[in-house]
Amino acid sequence: MMDIEILLTALFLSSAAALAGSFLVLSGRSMFGDALSHAVLPGIVLMYLLTGERSFGGSLVGAILTAIVVSYLIEHLQHIRGIPSDAAIGAVFVVFFALGIIFISGPAAGVDLDQECVLFGEIAFVPFERWIVGGIDLGAKGVWISAGLLVFVGLFLHFFRSLLSVVTFDTEYANAIGIPSKKWQQLYSILISVVVVIGFELVGAVLIVSLLVAPSAIAWLFSARINGMLRLAVMVAIVSSLVGTGVADVFDVSISGSIASVQGILFFIASAVYRRRFANKLKKVH
């Protein structure tokens, strides 16, 4: 039977990622999350080398620091005339990911560092990392961390959603009315970095990218307003997490793979429905 702590972690993390990833989809930077999820690898390995152990806290600190550097470099390159956004993301992502692979195969080759665990993570391991205070087991760390992340992202968007909307849709207008668009873009990149790093540790790079993009992309097809898109994205994230964990439990397969697969299927279904609706509207116009 599926562990309730695994399910709660999936629900909290997927909801937080859906909220944070909505503005990535709206700004056309969906692959930014994918770049970050791989580019933080050298930070994780370096922290392991410095501390001699691969703890969640150490990995989190190393990955966040690396993610901030990566975010800054990508934003800096994007503002250089003639360099496309996808080229800047690709260049930084490849360099940092390659450095991580070099560290794993070189300085960290002689230590006990599981490459598959570092690269992909595993949500099934969540119940084994306990939060114990004063001898009292308060539950899995992953549940508390993912819940805290959801609260953090929710509060961030509650207070700054309007500003992010202006910066996302019209940077020139934002600058004209006194909103420093570049600083807000960097701040949002840091938010995405935190979500990606925590997701990287809890569920792995593959699933966190799916959680960031798929629910938001589906919601974007059917929502004309940002508030509606955010709500629908969270609903899609919750449904896909419930169905994905259920499928994994029944067929005894990868939980992360099941959730990502369900989201992919939902996206293709949503695309087909949207295309049918769009085609019908065109027929009515003509």
Q: Is residue 79 part of a domain?
A: yes
Give 116: exposed, middle or buried? Use CB within 10 Å, 0-12, 13-18, 19+: exposed
Q: Yes or no: say if 40 and 196 are a contact pair by the CB < 8 Å rule.
A: yes
Mean pLDDT of the chain: 84
Q: Is residue 142 part of a domain?
A: yes
Looking at residue 22, its pLDDT comes to: 94
Looking at residue 286, its pLDDT comes to: 44
Range of the domain at 111: 4-204
Position 112, amino acid: D
Q: Is residue 23 part of a domain?
A: yes
Looking at residue 115, its pLDDT comes to: 52
Q: Is residue 32 part of a domain?
A: yes
Q: Is residue 253 part of a domain?
A: no
Q: Is residue 233 part of a domain?
A: no
Give the whole-number percent of the chain exceeding pLDDT 90: 35
Looking at residue 110, its pLDDT comes to: 56
Residue 167 maps to which CATH number? 1.10.3470.10
The predicted-structure confidence for 177-226, as pLDDT tens digits, reads as follows 888 887 888 788 888 888 988 887 788 777 888 999 999 999 999 887 89
Which residues lie below 8 Å from residue 251, measured CB to CB, with a gap of 6+?
258
- If one counts the domains in the chain, the total is 1
Q: Is residue 241 part of a domain?
A: no
Q: Say yes or no to pLDDT of 258 above 90.
A: yes
Looking at residue 9, its pLDDT comes to: 95
Triad 74, 87, 186: Cα angle to 5°? 20
Triad 19, 25, 31: Cα angle to 5°? 110
Q: Is residue 260 part of a domain?
A: no
